[in-house]
Structure 1
Amino acid sequence: MPGDAPRTGRGRPRRRLREGAWGWLFTGPMVLVLGLFLVLPIAMALWVSLLHWDGQSDPFNGNADFVGLDNYRRLFTEDGLDRTLFATSLRNTLYYVLLTVPLQTVLALFLAIAVNQRMLRGRGALRTVFYFPSVTSSIAVSTVFLFLFQGSGAVNRMLGRLGVKGPNWFADPRGLVWLVLQPFGVDRPAPTAGGPLGLPWSEWFAGPSVAMCTLILMAVWTTSGTFMLIFLAALQDVPPELEEAAALDGANRRQLLRHVTLPALRPVLFLVLTLGLISTWQVFDQIYVMGRGAPGNTTLTPAYLSYSAGFDNADYGQGAAIAFVLLGLILLLTAVQRFVLRERDGKPRRHPKGARRAAR
């Protein structure tokens, strides 16, 4: 109203205080739940990683021996079985991550692009078929793969019928590098010292075993459907004007994918890669069902090693230390991945001419 006095800023602090109180009122229960079931257990596990605890007494009443960083020192600096097994688990999981994450990401993107075609018939049925392995129990899938790839399983029988006879490859503890080089007269060298964490260089560069490749195949098959849906939702949000303008200017499918589709999918690509990175470094249930590290610890992972240290060897401090090392490694790799996929300020994206004109 013309005759009203101008408003002052005295009521703004009260309004902000009231809004903040209502915000904490609605978020308080979730914060409390996260504190009780996430933050507090992490703090308790961190304390356990500094103890030598057998799991029988109360570790918070002085009934366990405080050893400080000895559990971490045994993993990185002290020669022994603990460091050897930990290095072996890191080697195995490194190959698992380097092969699984790119394969499942590329396959999921390819499937999403395929089922996003408007002229494709039966798109709903194909989406269901591709997504179905992702909702199947991992224990059930691991059991099926175990029966397929065991010594007397269907895969070895099929290879025998094709004339490929020999030892049970899936029980061979050698890596693929030595298996491929063996016909050329290159044998696996004798283990020597000098590698990271005391593991010989010949073991680091041996490659994944056939059993680990089987786990990689299973992981790609069971996870690509979930990431396909994530990519599909992102593809449907890409402005069609950009694609149409680029097509009118003569851009082919490869240029369209590189200069229009992939830049638009950058945030979703980071999400998929992060989820894949976390899930692959934490792989446990497939390892537990399909051999528990066999053959020859070539499928041993840090997650299963943490479980085995606590529940099999009654050394819960060592198991908690492995879990926190794994947590730190995942956080570090996620930060590196975020840095690599970040938006470069001051560097314009390269689009076809039609895409730039449509963006204006």
Structure 2
Amino acid sequence: MVLVLGLFLALPIFMALWVSLLDWNGQSNPFTGGEAEFVGLDNYRDLLTQDGLDRTLFATSMRNNAFYVLLTVPLATAAGLGLAMIVNQRLLKARGALRTGFYFPSVTSSIAVSTVFLFLFQGSGAINSLLSWVGVKGPNWLNDPRGVVWAVLGGLGLVDPDHPSAFLAAHDFLGLPFSEWLAGPSVALLTMIFMATWTTSGTFMLIFLAALQNIPRELEEAAALDGVNRRQLLRHVTLPAIRPVLFLVLTLALIGSWQVFDMVYVMGQGSPANTTLTPAYLSYKSAFDNAEFGQGAAIAFILFALILVFVGLQRWLLRERTPKEAKHA
């Protein structure tokens, strides 16, 4: 087992780390000199500190993915937990059929689901047709680059999306103005967030369901005798009892959300206006479209480090607290 993991996991990671320090076009052996030039940390500097198109695209992909994570992780987790609590009810009829129906999107090919969503969310697709029945004119979902935060605030007359404040326009992070960081996910990205929530909540439902069925019935009966309502039962009994499983689901959702690639590839490849571009797709594009394998590997390792930081932070937040820590929290 150690040999297999070392050969097919550890060794490729170290090889990719070496590639991230090279200027390599993928046409030669990167480990024998040749056409691969050692550039040290230049690939990382181009992405993080050097002004230019590379940093702008990387910052844009990070902004998009950050909004994707902030919305997809809590929505998919909450949906999975809610579905698990529904199908866990002992008096519910057709529980088996409901479990199958809720889980079905999770076992369907993501490419097939993405293709279906392309048809559903076209300007003249089924979603806009349904909205027209209630007098709502839907947007051109997958071709709308507007940030929803600015669009909503602009619709309310609170801001002018086309002319952000001087402070937001003059200050930037990773070369991207604050106004673009705060614009919110684009309408096109919201479509992908909805799809991701729909396809992953079924898997999380099964994980939560197994955890809920392991909660001793005596705990729920004792809580019922104490007169707690459903909200109190969820907060003080259910969630503490499934804390390890909750950490697992949040970790899986967090890692999967930062690595989103397939739906981006199928549903627009970063368009419109790079508002659906993600680091995972940018890494692929840099390496296989632009023949900059060193930069593609550098993006992958920055993403890897970012995931480790967020998983560590999440583990700290969900750790078991002593009574003294819980009181201060």
| TM-score normalised according to structure 1 size | 0.86
**Mapped partners of 1:349, 1:120: distance in 2:** 36
Does 2:243 match 1:271?
Answer: no
Q: 1:179 Cα deviation (Å)?
A: 1.6
Cα distance change on mapping 1:72 and 1:235 into 2, 3 Å:
same
Query: Does the CA contact (< 8 Å) of 2:64 and 2:185 recur in 1?
Result: yes
Corresponding letter in the other structure for 1:66: F
Map Cα deviations across residues 242-273 of structure 1 (whole Å, 9 max, x no partner).
11111112122221111111100100000000
For the residue of structure 1 that corresponds to 2:174, the secondary structure is helix
Question: Is 1:122 matched with 2:94?
Answer: yes
1:193 and 1:199 in contact (8 A); partners too: no
Residue equivalent to 1:222: 199
Corresponding letter in the other structure for 1:37: F
Equivalent in the alignment of 2:143: 171
The alpha carbon displacement at 1:88 in A equals: 0.4
CA distance in 1, matches of 2:154, 2:219: 52
Distance in 2 between residues matched to 1:155 and 1:141, nearest whole Å:
15
Q: 1:1-360, aligned counterparts within 5 Å? A: 30-63=1-34, 64-165=36-137, 168-185=140-157, 186-188=159-161, 189=163, 192-347=169-324
Q: Where do 5+ consecutive residues of structure 1 fail to align?
A: 1-29, 351-360
Letter in 2 for 1:229: L
Q: What is the identity percentage for the equivalent residue pairs of Structure 1 and Structure 2? A: 73
CA distance in 1, matches of 2:111, 2:251: 23
Distance 2:169 2:236 in 1: 48
Indicate the structure (1 or 2) with the bigger Cα radius of gyration.
1
For the 8 Å contact 2:128–2:138, the answer to whether it is kept is no
Q: Tell me how far 1:173 sits from its aligned partner.
A: 1.2
- Matched-pair contact (CA < 8 Å) for 2:121–2:141: no
Per-residue CA shift, 1:323-346, capped at 9, x if unaligned? 000000000000000000000124
Distance across 1 between alignment mates of 2:95 and 2:190: 31
CA deviations over 1:70-95 (Å, ceiling 9, x no partner): 00000111000000000000000000
Local SS of the residue matching 1:103 = helix
The CA deviation at 1:181 is: 2.4
Contact 1:71/1:317 (<8 A) preserved: yes
Structure 2 residues without counterparts, runs of 5 or longer:
none
Q: Secondary structure of the equivalent of 1:192?
A: helix
- CA drift at 1:280: 0.3
Contact 1:115 1:127 in 2 (8 A): yes
- The letter for the 1-side match of 2:255 is I
Counterpart position of 1:24: none
Distance 1:169 1:231, change over 3 A: closer
Structure 2 vs 1, CA of residues 75 and 231 (structure 1 numbering), >3 Å: closer, same or farther? same
Residues 131 and 138 of structure 2 are in contact (CA less than 8 Å); yes or no, is this contact kept in structure 1?
A: no
Per-residue CA distance 1:185-229 (angstroms, 9 max, x = gap): 432125834211010011000000111000000000000010000
Per the alignment, residue 22 of structure 1 pairs with none
Q: Give the aligned CA root-mean-square deviation in angstroms.
A: 1.6
Give TM-score, length-normalised by structure 2: 0.94
Q: Cα deviation per residue 1:296-347 (whole Å; 9 max; x = unaligned)?
A: 1000000000000000000000000000000000000000000000001244
